[in-house]
Amino acid sequence: MSSIGTMNSVINNNRKLLKDGKRKPFSKSLGGTSKKSTYKQYVLPEVSPHVLRRVRIKMKRQNRRLLIKQLVIGFVTLVLMMLYIIYLSQ
């Protein structure tokens, strides 16, 4: 069965459901919700700009160190793989 035939059969099946009264269209989407939300919004504390600047600098240092570690480990792995390939080819 082609994709067009499949689409037509889905549409026909949905129409049959509506005609027989087995399905009420959009019955739950228009009603909304009656429950009140008990969510209490979190209020962030005030932070001075110099503290934010210090946090930003610290995060940049940590990210730079992590990047250097990843590059070193990747380079060492690459060198070991090259040496292994050279060793196997001999």
- Give the start-to-end residue ranges of the domains of the chain: 47-90
pLDDT for position 39: 74
For residues 36 and 39, what is the distance between their CA atoms, to the nearest angstrom? 9
pLDDT for position 21: 61
Q: What is the pLDDT of residues 34-80, one digit of tens each?
A: 566 677 888 888 989 999 999 999 999 999 999 999 999 999 999 99
pLDDT for position 66: 97
Query: Is the Cα dihedral 6, 9, 15, 18 positive or negative?
Result: negative
DSSP state, 22? S
Residue that is written with structure tokens 């005609």 in the block: 19
What is the value of pTM for the model shown? 0.47
